[in-house]
Structure formats: structure tokens, C-alpha cells
Structure 1
């Protein structure tokens, strides 16, 4: 009875301070082959009971793409719950994702069927005066039921991918250190392992916030180091097909990369109007790797059983980078206890490459006649989002 009285008193003292519902529609890409659209729905609320604050939310995302580069209907759901008081907090979220099939076209066609995954994240912020120390941990696991990698049949399995980080905040300063590690397996449709890959990622980020009248500036800079390796084999034991593949492989390789990160978030508010620019960039100052392949043809009436080996470098991202600029216009409309916000935004993606110094001159696009008018038209109208949210 005492527990029941305490629980009822606690619920009675709770105060609902805000509830928000939003919907966002994003046009990702369109061309002659199809259209890629992203829909997002969010719902959440904040509650308080004395010095105790609670918040919860749910987010559903649906990617519907018919462009030939990537054909899929992909659904992802996330659920969030947080508690905090004046000394510490605890937050966690759980997510799931699934797609009946994912088909990617890049020189060849690759497909995966029955794609699914789950992810989770836990963080425990500690409040010490003006400082916040926030360690966090997240993981991901995913798999597909069967697939086709053009050269062989196989499905992807990610048994574990983990992220470990800590965030320090003091007044207008923020420091974030992250370590990620994971493994990826490619199995044939009989669950024999074909390829094993693993990766490690380290990154550090520093961010600072400035205010000036109605404007806010939040620049950041950082760096990231990546290392990964892979081993695989297509043999007569794991490729139990009569005609295909006609060539067996054993491959080993590794990839390393060092990247520089930089960006700035700018916001300007005037009455009910908001304009923001979110600029982010990544530049691979150094990316290198290598691979070694041993191959052998089948020996039958069609092939002579010859064998050989190849090796090469993996450095296609060396001295390349990507800049993204998200421009957003938002307007807030207040009516009694209802607060409505509408916005329109556009993301500009700008890839670039520094000269390799080989003295070749010209650009890499000369060989295929440059960038087509249709591509420019699709790029201009890609990444456009419109959304509306209601808060009570």
C-alpha cells in the first residue's frame, strides 16, 4: 500500500511540459530511372516531477527508392527514453530496421534480400557545475537472408559493431572522443563463410559556441583515423555450382585512412523566423591500402585450369573530400497553447579532389564528355526537405 501511495503521488505530481509531433518529407534524388524519397515521423514528450525530468520519443523513417543506383523500400524505427536530475542522467534508445530487398547498381548489379538490423545506445551524463561528462555506448547488428554479389552468391552479416565515446561540455566548449570497431562477414547461401572484414575507427572533435545578438555560431574541427583489413576465398568447397563461378579466388587486403573534419553551424533568429546554415566537410588527407589476389580457373571442357596472381593499391579516396551545406528556413506560428513550426531546407553535396601532381592536366570528366545536363538538374533538386511540427 505504501508503494502504491508513493506511485500515485509521484504520477499526480508529474507535469507534462511539452508534447511534439512532426513530419518531414525529403526528396533525395530523381532521374530518368526513378525517384528516391525519405519520409520521417517524430513524436515525443517531456514530463517533470519536482527536480526530476523525463522525456521520451519515437521516430519512424521510410526510404522509398526506385532509382537504378539503389532500389529499396527501407523502414527504420527508433524509441528514446531519458531521465535526468541536477546531478546525473540516464538515456537510452533502441532501434530496428528492415527491407525486403536492396539492389545497388555500380558497374554490376548487387542485391540483398531480407535485410534487417537492430541498434541500441546508452549514455550516462554527469553534471558538475557548468561541466557535463557524458560517456556513451552504442552497438549495431544486422544481416540479410540471401543475396547476389555478381561474381558469387552471398549474404551479409554484421554480428557486432560497437561505438564507445565520451563527451565533455564546459560552458561553450565541447570535446568528443570516439572509438568504433566491428566485423563484417559475407556468407554464401549455405552459410559457409566467404569473406571476413574488420575495422577500427578513432576520431576526436572539438566544438565551440558563440553568440552575437540574434546570431549563433558553432564551428568545429577534428580528425579521424581508420584501419581495416579483409580476407576471403571462393573455392570449390564453398561455391557448389556446376557452371558459375568459373574462376576461384583467394584475396587479402588492408585499407588505412586519415581524414580531417571541419564545419560550422550558423543560426539567425528574428522574432518567429529562423535561418540556418549547417556546413560540414571531410577531407581524406591520406588514404592507402593494398590487395593481393590468387586466382585459378576451373579445369573442364571450357577452361584449362590455369592460375596466376594479381596485386594493386587501394587509394581511390586519397586527397578527396566532400562538403555538405544544409540551408534551412523555418517559421514559428503560435496560437494559444499550440505552437506550429514549418520549414524548408536544401542540402548541397559538393565532392572535390586535390590534384595528384601527375601533370596530366584537365579533369577526370573529360573522357566521358563531362557532366550531363540531366545530372545537374537532378543535383539541383536533390536533398530538398519540407516539414511541419506541432508542439503543445
Structure 2
């Protein structure tokens, strides 16, 4: 195995809330951290994963055994910092080997005080989480790992749970900013930052869309103030936490739908559209995380390989149209692994009015099968503007 000799690392222990322990070595910062243990099946893109705000308060377990071989660079961050609460890998790379690398992954983890653990059986840990479900976990290294196990377990059990957690405001921007359209400006969009990834407004901008990114606490008046005559469309981003806590954001979205403004949401935004339409949400046993999840777009019949990071889902009927106060809603995308709802469409008078997907079509770091959804949003805004003329 390509890892550093154990004498160069402090002892570390991973403690799950059900009492199972994994002993290994420190990785990244030495100390302690707690969060929800989740596993990611992506073999690449660890820098984008770590800097995705949707991982706030989560400890990421990498199922790929060898992590860190391409280091980190200044271009691939999806936000201004690492949001993951902790990091679990089996075999860390000794040194990065990539022309874009500016420093090693472990140096970055240390610099941002992210506690991790390595040299444990991540396959066994992943199987445990699949069988028992995502749960709280603690990583302890150095002096923190020397405390009695019952004491460490108490720390884990007393940490906050993800169910009932309202986290969007903790990761959202605190000020409005604009990402200018590339080339000729076609549309203006108000994007609610619930934990937005940097690639998302860039992909919108490449389609001639001027993106006004707004804080999570924005009101309908803030949204309507975007653009000369209000926004051409509204976008809700991905983000962390339990969608059942997002009452204010759901109320805002209902105001958007009442006004007939074209809407597109991803991930957390999909769950909030579901709630706005009258559906419930629920916590998945262990969620979908990684960049290799198969989803069928029922609109086209095509199967896409998609990037995911969600532990909650919308409870909507797969094969029925639902009447809502805003029009007819139906499930547009479904996960082929477990039939979880992966997308919604709202139609009014037979025309598309709003849509969302549970996964990440910006797909940093890939795959790019779902990039067409940004074009679908552009088409929706164009069709709406033509009808209103």
C-alpha cells in the first residue's frame, strides 16, 4: 500500500454512534471532530467534494481506496473553504503527481484544520453504513484519541443530528453579488444561495444569463428587485440540512410560483420545490453521494450518469400526476438504483412552468451528462417571455 509509515502519524480512532470503532492513523489536522458519517463513491473530484457546502457538518468516507494523488489546485474549489467536518480515507498518496497541483491534499486539510483518519478499512465502514444507515461519528487523533472509549462515544452521541438541522444560512453568502453573462446578455436570474457551488453560476453565465446570487434569507421583494423589471427566472441551489426546516425558503418559492416566474432548482432546491407543491420529504437510509449514480430523465427516456450529494428526498408518486395550487406536478427523473425521486416538473395549462432535479447538473468534477438542464432552463425563460409578449 502506498502510504506513509505509521510512525510518522499519530494514532487515531473513528467512533460511530452505535459503538463500532475503527483504529487507524491521523490524516490532515490532528484533533477531534464530529458530524454525520456519509460515504462518497466518486473515484475522482475529491477537491470539489470537500469544498461543496452541501457537506457542511458531514464526515466524508471515501470508498475509493487511494486518495490525494492529484493534490489540490487553485482552480477547482467549489467555494471559499472546505466545508466537510472530517475526512476518512484508506491509503493517502505519499505525494501529488499532477501538473496543476499547488500543494498536497493533506497540507490543505492541515491548513484548514480539517481532522481526518487514514489506514482503516473503508470498505468495512461503508458496508456498515449501508446496513445500519448514516449515523453520527467522531474522529479523534493525537491526545484526543487517548481518552477512554466511553467518553468519546458520549461526545458523538451528544453531537447534533442531521434530521431537523437548518444549515443553509450557515453556508450562504452574506451579501448579494453578480456573475456577469458571457457574450450577449439574454436573461437575468435571481439565484438563491443555499450552499451554491461556484460552477453553477458560471454554467448559467456561459448561456448568456446574468446571475444575481442572493443570501438564503432573501425575501420575495429582494427577488423581484433583481433586474430592470424583475428576474426572468429564479434558481434555488444545492445546500445542506433538513428540507423540513426550510419554511421561509418554501414560502418564498410559493410566491415565485404564484407570479409565474420560471423556476429551476437543484438538490436542496428540488426538495424545496417538492415541499412548495405539497409533497413531504424524508431522510434516506444512507443517501446518494458520488459522481456515478444512474438516473433516467423521463422526458427524453435517456439514462444519465450523474453527480449526487443528498441524504433527503421528496416523497412524491412516481407514476401519477398531482394537482397543486400552481398546476400539475409529476416526477420527471428517477434513480435507477432505488427508485428515489430525482426530479420534478410543474406544468400550467400544458406548458412547463418550473422544474428541478435532485442531483448536481453542474457536475464539478463530472460527469457532464446532465448539463442540458441549464439549456432547458434557458428555453423555459425564452418560451415564457414569448408567451407574455
Asked if TM exceeds 0.5, the reply is no
Higher relative contact order (CA 8 A, sep 6+): 2
Q: Which entry has the higher C-alpha Rg, 1 or 2?
A: 1
Which of the two has greater helix per residue? 2
Which of the two has greater strand per residue? 1
